C-alpha cells in the first residue's frame, strides 16, 4: 500500500518535535553541568540521546514505507530555568505536549486506515506513559526534599545512574 501523504506529513512534524525535545534536554543538561549537578546533567543527557533516537526511529520508518523524510529548522530552546524543580516541571509540561502530538499521529494514521503506522506508534504511546511517569517521580521527590544541599546531593547521585536505551534497537 502506498504510504499515505497525511501520515507522512504528521510523522515528519513529529520528527521535528523529537529533535526539538532532544535540543531542550541537551540545553537542560548543559545548564545542570554549569551548576555542578553531574547526576542531573547525566539524566538530561540520556533524555537528549533517547529523544534523538525517537526522531531516528521515525525517520527509519518513513524510509521503510517509501516516504520522504523532510527535516525542518528547529525553534530556539530555552537556556536557563528558575530552579531544578522548574526545569522538571517544564519537562513534564513538554512531555504532555509530545504525548498529545503522538496521539494525533495515531488518530491520523487510524483515520487513514494505515494500521501499520498506528501499530508502530503504539511503541511511542507506551514510551510517553513511561516518560511522563519518570518525570513525575522526580518532581515528587523534589517536592519532598525541597532544594536543600544534602538531599539534592543524594538525588544527584541517583540520577547519575540512568543509562541510555537506544530506541532504534528496540522492537516496534
Residue with smallest beta-carbon separation from ligand FEO: 54
Which residue, 50 or 156, has its beta carbon nearer to ligand FEO? 50
Binding site for ligand FEO (CB under 6 A): 18, 21, 51, 54, 95, 98, 131
Place of cell 522538571: 88
Residue 50 CB, nearest approach to ligand FEO (Å): 7
Which residue, 131 or 156, has its beta carbon nearer to ligand FEO? 131
Nearest to 97 by CA among 17, 7, 9: 17
Residue 90 CB, nearest approach to ligand FEO (Å): 13
Residue 65 CB, nearest approach to ligand FEO (Å): 20
Residue 11 CB, nearest approach to ligand FEO (Å): 13
Which residue, 8 or 131, has its beta carbon nearer to ligand FEO? 131
Biggest CA pair distance of the chain: 58
- CA 94/CA 86 separation, integer angstroms: 12
- CA 51/CA 157 separation, integer angstroms: 23
Q: How far apart are the first and last CA of the chain?
A: 19
Which residue, 19 or 152, has its beta carbon nearer to ligand FEO? 19
53 φ/ψ angles, rounded to the nearest 5 degrees: -70, -25
Residue 153 CB, nearest approach to ligand FEO (Å): 27
Which residue, 107 or 147, has its beta carbon nearer to ligand FEO? 107
3-state SS class at 45 = helix
Is-contact 13 101, C-beta < 8 A?
Answer: yes
CA angle 86, 127, 22 (to 5 degrees): 50
Amino acid at each position: 500500500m502506498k504510504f499515505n501523504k497525511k501520515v507522512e506529513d504528521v510523522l515528519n512534524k513529529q520528527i521535528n518535535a523529537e529533535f526539538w525535545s532532544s535540543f531542550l534536554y541537551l540545553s537542560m543538561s548543559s545548564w545542570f553541568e554549569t551548576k555542578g549537578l553531574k547526576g542531573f546533567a547525566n539524566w538530561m543527557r540520556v533524555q537528549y540521546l533517547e529523544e534523538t533516537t525517537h526522531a531516528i526511529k521515525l525517520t527509519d520508518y518513513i524510509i521503510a514505507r517509501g516516504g520522504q523524510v523532510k527535516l525542518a529548522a528547529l525553534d530556539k530552546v530555552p537556556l536557563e530555568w528558575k530552579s531544578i524543580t522548574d526545569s522538571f516541571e517544564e519537562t513534564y509540561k513538554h512531555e504532555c505536549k509530545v504525548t498529545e502530538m503522538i496521539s494525533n499521529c495515531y488518530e491520523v494514521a487510524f483515520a487513514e486506515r494505515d494500521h501499520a503506522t498506528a501499530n508502530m506508534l503504539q511503541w511511542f504511546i507506551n514510551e510517553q506513559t513511561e516518560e511522563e511517569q519518570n518525570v513525575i517521580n522526580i518532581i515528587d521527590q523534589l517536592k519532598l526534599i525541597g532544594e536543600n544541599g544534602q538531599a539534592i546531593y543524594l538525588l544527584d547521585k541517583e540520577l547519575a545512574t540512568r543509562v541510555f536505551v537506544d530506541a532504534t534497537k528496540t522492537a516496534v
